[in-house]
Amino acid sequence: MVAALSTCVVAGLAGQGVAAGTPSPYAFAEGAEEIDGAASNVEGPLLVAGSTYKSSLPRVGQRFYRLELKAKENAYVSATAVPRLGTKVSYADGLKVSVQDANGYNCSPLDSEKARFGSSESARPITATASRRVGTAEKSCTGAGTYYVLVERISDPETTQEEWDLELRVASEPALRTAGTTKPPETWDSASPQPPTGARKQREGGTSFNKARGLENGVWGDRVEPGETHFYRVPVDWGQSLSVGAELGSSGRGLTEDRGFVSTALVMSLTNPVRAQVDDADTAYDGKQNVTALGALPPVAYENRFAPERKVSAMRFAGWYYLSVHLNPDVAQKFGRAPLDVTLRISVEGSPRPGPAYAGSAKPADEFSVTERDAEAARRGESDASATSTGGGGGDDRVMVMIAVGGIGTGVGLLTILGVWTLIARRRAAAVALRGASAVPGATSPARFGPPRGW
């Protein structure tokens, strides 16, 4: 009966388009505190390093938050805007983030980011990151005390009036024990490495940074529906360089004389451990396979932060680098709602080198390093949520994505979906109880995506 219900849900949603205003399937961090930003800096709620928060951003106006920082502490604040699916956004729509001192001075104008939806003009999660940096090269915002985070929305008058959900994350990087050079590396091999070849290994992406699936060197396959954004993560250590290529597979419907064309069909974006953008790329689509790739990136080095070019400066930390892949919903109008095959070619080159000598600990812990546990998580395809969760499965994630992207057609469909979720919850609770009673060393954890085992 459960199998019949799941089949009913999939069949009922498969042919539907993205309904305007459909909640995004973006999975916020588990346990994230919900806070309301303030219209004035004096009322901004406190953000603590190492923590993640859920908030919102109105159509018009700005929102303030507060930081309490030490004198020798680099702070990075990322803001991920999550609009509802199917809502209208324009090329120029987006958000910007800054960290300011008590005088309203922008602590790092070169690092303050704006994020826009760009030429795809499709609603999806976008992220901007700002920082307060310390060191011999910094002449402002150097003292301990209160600082303010300002998140502003960049909006076109013709676009949606709805507020956006917002995920805020704060990371802290300690200063160096001994001040070093403030010059970026003079040379690095900017030639793009040969992309890996071979058979694809299937690995379905997650629905957010928090559920990004780990990847290591190799060729990886996924299937992405129009309107979806899938997240992945790759560990890159000090001294290593990363290259990423993506291929969008052919569509049976597109192999005709009157096939359509989508100018920005696939959008790929890479962000560093603090979610600051490194680089992005996109490709058009006419039903035939097409490829795109990120530009050549330097080996990870602390000194990269002093480089003027963004994609070099952003490669300043070891740790998890996040890759998002978005398929424009316009693809559905030309080629149908069926998911398309996406092939990712991931290459991490170079031997790990010792990292900088920090005068303290990062928050979150191990934020700027690659551990053996990280390498294992990449090999197994684990997300941050699956690596730390004691719950079972996660098979309901895919069901929720289908609902968000496909839309809910009728009250009957909603009742069916609720019934499936209830069964999932009961199975999960039973699985947790069973593991608590008899844990088996070395047992394989349940699948991260798809229906719970036993369906």
- Return the DSSP state at 178: S
pLDDT confidence of residue 215: 99
Are 122 and 207 contained in the same domain? no
With 0-12 CB in 10 A as exposed, 13-18 as middle and 19+ as buried, what is 365?
Answer: exposed
Are 36 and 8 contained in the same domain? no
Last residue of a domain, one of 306, 337, 370: 370
Measured distance CA(114)–CA(323) in Å, rounded: 18
Measured distance CA(134)–CA(132) in Å, rounded: 7
Measured distance CA(266)–CA(226) in Å, rounded: 9
Domain count of the fold of the chain: 3
**Which two tokens mark 263?**
């100018």
pLDDT confidence of residue 257: 55
Beta bridge mates, 323: 232, 270
Are 3 and 29 contained in the same domain? no
pLDDT confidence of residue 137: 73
Per the structure, the complete domain to which residue 171 belongs is given by: 23-175
pLDDT confidence of residue 124: 96
pLDDT confidence of residue 253: 63
- Strand intervals (E) in 125-251: 126-132, 145-154, 164-174, 201-202, 213-214, 218-224, 229-236, 241-248
pLDDT confidence of residue 328: 97
Is 36 within the bounds of a domain? yes
pLDDT confidence of residue 20: 61
Are 223 and 111 contained in the same domain? no
Give the helix/strand (H/E) hosting 262. strand 262-271
Q: Per-residue pLDDT tens, the chain, 455 aa: give them.
A: 434 443 333 333 333 445 666 778 999 999 999 999 999 999 999 999 999 999 999 988 899 999 999 999 999 999 999 999 888 899 999 999 999 999 999 998 876 689 999 999 999 999 999 999 988 777 789 899 999 999 999 987 777 778 999 999 999 999 999 987 788 888 888 888 889 999 999 999 999 999 999 999 999 999 999 999 999 999 999 999 999 999 999 987 645 556 789 999 999 999 999 999 999 999 999 999 999 999 999 999 999 999 999 999 999 999 999 999 999 999 999 999 999 999 999 999 999 999 999 999 999 999 999 999 999 999 999 998 766 543 333 344 444 444 444 443 444 444 444 454 444 444 444 443 433 433 333 333 333 333 333 33
Is 377 within the bounds of a domain? no
Exposed e or buried b for every residue in 237-268, given b needs 16+ CB within 10 A?
bbbbbbbbbbbbbbbeebeeeeebebebbbbb
Percent of the chain with pLDDT over 90: 65
Look up residue 70 and give its amino acid. K
This model's pTM is above 0.85: no
Are 154 and 231 contained in the same domain? no
Is 440 within the bounds of a domain? yes
Are 8 and 143 contained in the same domain? no
pLDDT confidence of residue 371: 96
Packing angle of the helix pair 2-14, 396-406 (nearest 10 deg): 30
Check if the beta carbon of residue 120 is closer than 8 Å to that of residue 282: yes
Is 53 within the bounds of a domain? yes
pLDDT confidence of residue 8: 39
